[in-house]
Amino acid sequence: MRVVRLPGIHHDASCILVSGEGETVIVDPGTSWYQANVIERIEAKLDGQPEVSKILLTHRHYDTAGASKHLSDYWGVSCHIHADGVNALRGGDLFTTWASRFNSDMPAVNAVPFDDEEVFELGNGSLEVIHTPGHTSDSCCFWIENERILLAGDLIPKRGHISRWDLPTGCLPDLVESIDYLLKMEIEQLVPGHGETIVGAAAVLAELEQQFEVLSEILESKGVRPKLWPRPHPTCNWFTPEPPFSE
């Protein structure tokens, strides 16, 4: 298995290529703003790798899914998301995808639903869907078991930053429960939605434990975040703790 993370441009989520012996899937292609550039960057990494067969989405937000229509059409492949996000993508919804906050349209794509624990076989490896709601109702992670790699989406947006639960379909109790679920896994590498990969079981566990502790305290405070935390920009999908809890 080969996993390549392409850091997002500007607001874009990280775009991740996962290649097995038989096929390559693209996870979270980003906004529609840089979609032509994203294709060029992906194709530069495909030399000697299987052709792209699918686009998989961790959730419906514009910064992760906005380019899905263009990439789906370009390669003639299907686009997949959790069942809770299908109608938002098929209808080009501007509200729950948060595209309106980017002053952008949400290109409608005929997304195909997947279920919790569904497995995508790539040849000598696979991706398993783990439904982890909280940031949105459809939020999912992808688990590459043979490599112990978790593609976390915006459940963990970046190291030392907290996923927002106050956007459409978000839910703080679900977010806490989802991170608690990850704490029971043996993860060697965690790829956040936007930040750099967290490498090493100890580092991953420390990050998840800190996130769980902070979010649990906020939940006990009835969802009121600490006063020192700056208010996020409307296009920002995470909170920035102040003072920082992680270097």
Q: What's the pLDDT score for residue 234?
A: 86
* Confidence bin at 114 (pLDDT 50/70/90): very high
Contacts of 191 (CB under 8 A, 6+ apart): 3, 5, 14, 16, 149, 150, 151, 152, 197, 198
User: What strands, in cross-sheet order, belong to the sheet with 52-56?
Assistant: 2-6, 15-19, 24-27, 52-56, 78-82, 112-114
pLDDT of residue 112: 98
Name the residue type at position 42: I
Q: Please report which confidence band the pLDDT of residue 246 belongs to, taking 50, 70 and 90 as the band edges.
A: low
Which helix (H) or strand (E) segment is 125 a member of?
A: none
144 burial (CB, 10 Å; 0-12 / 13-18 / 19+) is buried
User: Mean pLDDT over residues 99-103, rounded?
Assistant: 94
Return all residues near 227 (Cβ < 8 A) that are at least 6 apart: none
pLDDT at 79 over 80: yes
The alpha carbon of 72 is separated from its chain's Cα centroid by a whole number of angstroms, namely: 18
Task: Report the pLDDT value the prediction gives residue 155, as an integer from 0 to 100.
Answer: 98
The Cα 159–Cα 150 span in angstroms is: 14
Give the pLDDT mean for 157-183: 97
Tell the CATH superfamily of the 2-239 domain.
Answer: Ribonuclease Z/Hydroxyacylglutathione hydrolase-like (3.60.15.10)
Segment 42-64 shows an average pLDDT of 96
pLDDT at 54: 97
The pTM for the full model equals 0.96
> Mean of the pLDDT values across residues 130-143?
98
Q: What is the mean pLDDT of residues 20-25?
A: 95
- Rounded to an integer, the average pLDDT of 151-170 is 97
